[in-house]
Chain A
Amino acid sequence: MRREYIYPHRSVRAFPVSRLRAAAAIVLAASLTAGVARFAGPLLDLHHRITSLTIKIAGIPAGETTAVRVFSYPGTVPAASVPIPRHGDNPWRAPVLFFATLAALTLVHRLVPLARSFILFLSVLLCAAGLVIIVHPMFAFDAATYQKIWLQGEFLVWLLLPWVSAFLFVLTLPAFFHGVAWMLAVQAYALFWSAVRLAFCLGVFHITGILYVPLLWFCLGVLFDLVYLLAFYALALGLALPRAVGRRRS
C-alpha cells in the first residue's frame, strides 16, 4: 500500500507543486506587482499619511510636507519634514550617545554569544557614522534625503515581494487559499510597517542627530524587511503543520 510518509521518521513524502498552482502563483505575483506599479502614487501617498500620523501621535514637531523624487516614475511624492540637528549644534551629544551605545553593545556582546556577529555588525555601522562625524563635522543628512533613500528601497521591495511571497506561501503551503491570504497580508503589512518604521527613524534622528542614520537604515530598513517576511513565513508554516501532520498520520 502506498504510504504518504517516509519510514521511519514520518516525513511527508512530497508536496508536489501542480502546474495549476504554479501558474496561479505566477499570475498572482504578476498581478500584485502590476498593481503596486499602477497605483504607486496613491500607495506612496498612503505611506506618507501613515508616517505623518505616527509622527504626530509621537509628538514630534513636523514642518510642512515636502516633496521627494523617488524614481522618474512615480515621480515626486510627499514626505514628512522633520528637523534633524547637525553635530555642530550640540558637540557633546554625539560622543555621549556613541560611547553609551558602544557600551551597551559591548555588554550584549559579552552576555549573548550567539548575537556576537550581529553586535559586531551594529558596531561597525555605529563606528562608520562616528568616523563620518569626526572627519566631516558638518555632514548633514536631512529628513528628505533619508526618506528618498528609504522610499526607493521600500518601493522596490514592494515590487519584488509578491514574487518572494508566491514562492514562500503559495507554492509551499499545503492549502492554496491560505497561501494567497498570507501573500496579501504580507504585502499590506509591508506598506504599513514600512511607514511606522520610517516614522520611528525620523523620530530618533530628530532627537539624536545623524549618529544612528546608517544603523537604523541597515537594521530597520533592509534587514527588517527580511525579518517580518520570515516572521510571517514561520507563522504560516506553524499554522500549516497540523495539516501536514494530518497527512503524515494517514
Chain B
Amino acid sequence: MSPLIVACRCILVLTIAALTAYALRHHLFVLSRLGQRKSRDMMELVGYVAPSVSVLVPMHNEENVAADVLQALVDCDYDWAKLEVIAIDDRSTDRTGEIIDEFAARYPVVKAVHRKEGQGGKPAALEFAGAQATGEILLLFDADYIPGRSMIKFLVTPFCDPEVGAVMGRVVPENGGASLLAGLLELERGAGYQIGQQARHTLGLTPQFGGTVGGVRASVLKAVGGWNTYSLTEDTDLTFRLLLHGWKVAYVNRAECYEEAPETWQVRSRQIRRWATGHTECLHDLWKSWLRAKTLTTAEKIDGLFVLACYWTAPILVLGWLASLVLFFLPQAHSSLAFVVALSFMGYQLFGNQATFLELGTAALLDGNPRVKMLPLSLFNFFGSTGAICRALLAFYLGGLFGPGNHHWHKTKRYRNGNGKNGANGHANGNGRKNGNATAARLLIRAPNGIYLCRQEANLT
C-alpha cells in the first residue's frame, strides 16, 4: 500500500474520530435539554439581598443604537438605588458621546464615561470603566442589544449562589427576517443557547460567559486579574480563568436579550474569524493549566477542551475531505472496505455533522421558531463558516511563525437606526435608512409585562 494511501486513511480516521466526538456531545446536549426536569431546594436564596449592580455598556461609534440600549436599561425594573448604568464612550468619533451625555443629564442612574485615547478594543474599554464602577455585580451589554424589562433581575438572581462567579443570559437576534443569513444565524443562536448553553449548565459542565448579556462579580473579576485586554475573545478568556479559580458560571435561559445578527456575509465572516482567532489563542494559553486544575471535574475538563478546540474542527474537516478526494482518484484504494466506510461516514460528518442540525432543529421546536424550514440552507452557513475559520486559523498559525499575527478588534456593523424607541417609529438617519421599511420587518413590540417581543413572538400571544 502506498504511503499516500496510508497517510490519507490516517487523516480520515482522525477526522472521523474528532467529528464523531463532537457529534456525540451534541446528541447528549439535545437529550439533556429535551428531558430537562431540574428540581432545586432554593436554599441558597435564604437571606439573599439584591446586590448593587453596575451595568457597563461599551460603545465605539454607536450613534445608531446607543439610545435604544440606554432607554431599555433605564426602563428596567431593578431598584434604582442599587443600580448604575455606565455608558462608555470609547474613543467615538460620531454622536455617541452626545447621546450618552443626554441620557446622563436626563437620568441620574446613567453615568457617562468618555475615553478619548488608549488601547483599542472592548476589553480595554471595560478595564477603563470598570475602575469607576461601584456595584457588587458588573453586568455587560453590547450597544446593539435591547434588554427586556426584568433582564437585570434575571441576570442578578444566580449570584445568590455564592459559588457563582459569572452569569450568562440568552442572546436572540431580532433581525432574523432582514436577510437569509440573519435568519440562519437566528437558528444557529437558538441552538447555541437553548440547547448548548442550557445543557452545559444542567449537566454541570462549562457554560460560557459571552461578554454581553451577562455579568461577573466585581470582587471575583479583580481576584482573577481583570479583563485580558490583549485577547480577541476576552469573554472566553475570563470564563476559563474563573473556572480555573474554582468559580462557577451560570446560564439563565429566560434572561433573553435581543441583538442584531450580521446581515451580510462580509460582516459575519469577520466576526467568526475574530472568534476563531481569540478562541484558539485561549486554547494555547490555557490548555495546560486546564488539564492540571484540581477544582474541575473530569467532565468539566473534557467539555472545556471541546469548547476551546471547537474551531479546530473546520481545518480537520477540510483535511479529511482533501484526503477522501485523493483516495477517490486512486483506483487501488477503491477495493478496500475501510475506504468506503470512511467515505460514508465522511458523508454524514464532513458535510454538516447532522448532530449540529439536530441541535438547530430541536431549539427551533422548543422556541416555536417557524424559520426551521430554512434548515437545509444552513449548509451554506456551514460551508461559509468552515472557510472563514480555516482562513483565520491559517493566519493565526502563520502569523505566529512569521510575526505577531492578526490582533485587530473589528467592530461588528450595526443596521438599526436608533432613536431610543427600540426599533419602533423611527426616522431616516444619517445613512438614509428608515425604520418602517427594512427595519419594520423586525420591529420589537413591548408587551404589557414590559418584555420586548419580536413581531413573530408577539403574534403568538
Contact = CB atoms under 8 A, between A and B. Distances in A.
B367 interface: yes
B340 interface: yes
A11 B370 CA distance: 13
Given A14-B34, A116-B384, A164-B348, A234 B334 contact: no
Nearest to B375: A234
Interface in A1-59: 6-17
B372 A226 contact: no
Interface string A155-192: 01100100010011001111000000000000000000
Interface of B: 27, 30-31, 33-37, 148, 150, 170, 172, 180-181, 194, 253-254, 256, 264-266, 321, 325, 328-329, 331, 334, 337, 340-341, 343-344, 346-348, 350-352, 354, 357-358, 361-362, 364-370, 372-376, 378-381, 383-388, 447, 449, 451, 457, 460-461
A237 B365 contact: yes
A128 B327 CA distance: 12
Main secondary structure of the interface of A (DSSP, over half): helix
Given A114-B265, A231-B376, A149 B368 contact: no
Nearest to A246: B368
10 contacts: A13-B36, A114-B180, A117-B383, A153-B343, A164-B354, A168-B361, A222-B344, A226-B354, A230-B375, A233-B375
A103 B319 CA distance: 26
B384 A117 contact: yes
Contact of A226 (B365, B373, B379): B379
B183 to A, nearest CB: 11
Size class of the contact patch on chain A = 35 or more
Interface string A211-250: 0001001100111011101110111011011001100110
A113 B265 contact: yes
Contacts of A17: 31, 34-35
Contacts of A241: 364-365, 368-370, 372
Interface of A: 6-17, 71, 113-118, 120-121, 124-125, 128, 132, 145, 148-149, 152-153, 156-157, 160, 164, 167-168, 171-174, 214, 217-218, 221-223, 225-227, 229-231, 233-235, 237-238, 240-241, 244-245, 248-249
B368 A128 contact: no
Q: Which 4 A-B pairs have the closest CB atoms?
A: A222-B347, A117-B387, A113-B265, A234-B375
A231 to B, nearest CB: 5
Contacts of A113: 264-266
A173 B366 CA distance: 10
B253 A128 contact: no
Contacts of B170: 9
Nearest to A157: B344
B361 A172 contact: yes
A187 to B, nearest CB: 15
